[in-house]
Amino acid sequence: MADLKAFAEQLVGLTVKEVNELAKILKEEYGIEPAAAAVAVAAGLRCCSCSRG
């Protein structure tokens, strides 16, 4: 079974560019189109954590 906590930590650590690349991969290779809001929130979490740290 995957270590979900480690996976979550990797997701939170993604840059905006990496989040966009991940969304593209999910859509093109797996037919999964992430909601734009979810991608924006994930990117925003990364930005917010940087500015508050």
Which segment of 2-6, 8-12, 47-51 scores lowest on mean pLDDT?
Answer: 47-51
Residue 45 has pLDDT above 80, yes or no: no
- Amino acid identity at 12: V
Tell if the pTM clears 0.95, that is, is over it. Answer: no
Residue 26: which of 11, 47, 45 has the closest Cα?
A: 11
Residue 35 has pLDDT above 70, yes or no: yes
DSSP H or E run through 35: none
What is the Cα–Cα distance from 3 to 25, expressed in whole angstroms?
21
